[in-house]
Amino acid sequence: MTARLDGVAWLQRGPLPRLLEVLDRDGEEARVVGGAVRNALLGQDIHEFDVATTAEPHETISRANKAGFKTVPTGIEHGTVTVIVEGKPFEVTSLREDVETFGRKAKVAFGRDWKKDAERRDFTMNALSVSRDGVVHDYVGGLADLAARHVRFIGDPASRIAEDYLRILRFFRFHAAYSHDFPDRNGLAACVAGREGLAGLSRERVRMELLKLLLAAHAVPALAVMSENGLLVPLLGGVPLLASLSNLMKAEAAIGVAPDAIRRLGALGVILHEDAERLTQRLRLANAEHDRLVSMSDHWWRLSAESPMQDMRALLYRVRGDAYIDRVLLAWSRSHESLSDARWHDLAALPRHWTPPDFPLSAADFMTRGVPKGPLLGVALRAAEDAWMAADFPADKTTLDGILAAAIVPAK
């Protein structure tokens, strides 16, 4: 199969054509490679452009600097230089071929053979390249697989996986993003056979791939295949809640919120506080991600379609922002109501219609009435705030004075 990318703006104007013009001449060749080519052919969004070149790194740096571009040797030992053009960074990597293969630390040599460079990559659809004239180059059957939405390893799947066991997770991630059918059978068999290699991966790399997978359109069926083949439970350390994840993804779409990987992780693996802690340790989540999972685990089962709006305003006041939506969608995903249930829609829409007010009483209000600094002051403030929320956030002076007086009595 052959293909062209004609009329695409990013090949005709802007910083990328300027970079290619510098690298693609005087005996050297440069092309755009990988995901940008794949997504362009599928008509999908492109988030970054990677460039491959026959030039060795020192030549890339020399040419870029002479053109006035800034260069950063981000991975020069592997042939990668970041070139910044008009404020936009591009990773430029010299063509390579394996000399010795032993996992991620394979010994490579720079080369000039585009076919050998393509054969080093993971999946056929990721090995496509496009030159400045819009011609798409395919050495491994990537165009046919892309047309069929078939994610297939290049060459022997077991060999590709042994080079980097993270490719097991990438296989399912790309399948979830681009395919609609059952995974490639040879690829799946190799993933199952090599599953013990996942234990040797860093938690950060596993986190990165799993969160990307959770954002894919067909994440649930891909995760179901992983679970059926013994690949998912070891990663999560617990039983995956696939129905909850499926329902939450549908609820996100129903209320028009953007897909969120941490929210989806919570639906997949969090029931109790201990689950949030376990996932945080296994995936080395950031503090903010940990806090969201903990919040999701906090009595989500108390929320229902019948929850009084006053109680929901109190919840929104306490947790704010994404944490409120997380909790509502998690409870909804584990309820018996449908995606069209108007009550759940009203609960989810609350942040759009109501902004939590600031607590109108301060420590000074209590101190001027004789409550001293110290623990008693904190007790009085908390009691007053709880009473204010229970009264549905009144603002009139009479009610606030009553709340203040009631909180002062035990404090004294």
What CATH code is carried by the domain that includes residue 139? Answer: 3.30.460.10
**pLDDT given for residue 321 in this prediction:** 84
**pLDDT given for residue 97 in this prediction:** 80
CA dist., res. 172 & res. 213, Å (int): 7
- Decide the pairing of beta strands 107-110 and 96-100: antiparallel
Cβ(104)–Cβ(93) under 8 Å?
no
**pLDDT given for residue 80 in this prediction:** 95
Prediction pTM value: 0.90
Cβ(111)–Cβ(97) under 8 Å?
yes
**pLDDT given for residue 336 in this prediction:** 96
Q: Are residues 268 and 376 in the same domain?
A: no
CA dist., res. 369 & res. 411, Å (int): 11
- HSE-CB at 231 with a 13 A cutoff on CA atoms is 27
CA dist., res. 46 & res. 39, Å (int): 6
Tokens of 323: 């944490």
pLDDT tens, 234-262? 999 999 999 999 999 999 999 999 999 99
CA dist., res. 263 & res. 278, Å (int): 16
Q: Are residues 286 and 160 in the same domain?
A: no
Cβ(68)–Cβ(85) under 8 Å?
no
Cβ(10)–Cβ(16) under 8 Å?
yes
CA dist., res. 194 & res. 122, Å (int): 15
Of 205, 240, 275, which residue constitutes the final position of a domain? Answer: 240
Residue 153 main-chain phi, psi, to 5 deg: -65, 150
Q: Are residues 6 and 143 in the same domain?
A: yes
Of 314, 336, 356, which residue constitutes the final position of a domain? Answer: 356
**pLDDT given for residue 193 in this prediction:** 97
Cβ(293)–Cβ(265) under 8 Å?
yes
Count of domains forming the chain? 4
Q: Are residues 116 and 184 in the same domain?
A: no
Burial 85-123 (b: 16+ CB within 10 A, else e): beeeebbbbbbbeeeeeeeeeeebebbeebeebbbbbbb
Question: What are 4's strand-pairing partners?
Answer: 135
Q: Are residues 129 and 214 in the same domain?
A: no
Q: Are residues 234 and 259 in the same domain?
A: no
Q: Are residues 172 and 58 in the same domain?
A: no
Provide the CATH number for the domain around residue 203. Answer: 1.10.3090.10
**pLDDT given for residue 366 in this prediction:** 94
**pLDDT given for residue 105 in this prediction:** 56
pLDDT tens, 396-405? 999 999 999 9
**pLDDT given for residue 121 in this prediction:** 94
Q: Closest Cα to residue 235, out of 202, 262, 212, 264?
A: 202
**pLDDT given for residue 1 in this prediction:** 75
Domain, as residue range, for 297: 241-356
CA dist., res. 227 & res. 239, Å (int): 9
Q: Are residues 199 and 302 in the same domain?
A: no
Q: Are residues 262 and 310 in the same domain?
A: yes
Of 85, 115, 148, which residue constitutes the final position of a domain? Answer: 148
Q: Are residues 208 and 257 in the same domain?
A: no
Q: Are residues 76 and 171 in the same domain?
A: no
Q: Are residues 68 and 209 in the same domain?
A: no
Q: Provide the CA 368 distance to its chain's centre, in angstroms.
A: 51
- Decide the pairing of beta strands 50-53 and 30-33: antiparallel
Q: Per residue of the chain (412 residues), give pLDDT as tens.
A: 789 998 899 999 999 999 999 999 999 999 999 999 999 999 999 989 999 999 999 999 999 999 999 999 998 888 999 999 999 999 999 998 866 655 555 566 899 999 999 999 999 999 999 999 999 999 999 999 999 999 999 999 999 999 999 999 999 999 999 998 899 999 999 999 999 999 999 999 999 999 999 999 999 999 999 999 999 999 999 999 999 999 999 999 999 999 999 999 999 999 999 999 999 999 999 999 999 999 999 999 999 999 999 999 999 999 988 999 999 999 999 999 999 999 999 999 999 999 999 999 999 999 999 999 999 999 999 999 999 999 999 999 999 999 999 998 765 5
Handedness of CA 180, 181, 184, 189 (dihedral sign): positive
Tokens of 282: 């296994």
Cβ(354)–Cβ(324) under 8 Å?
no
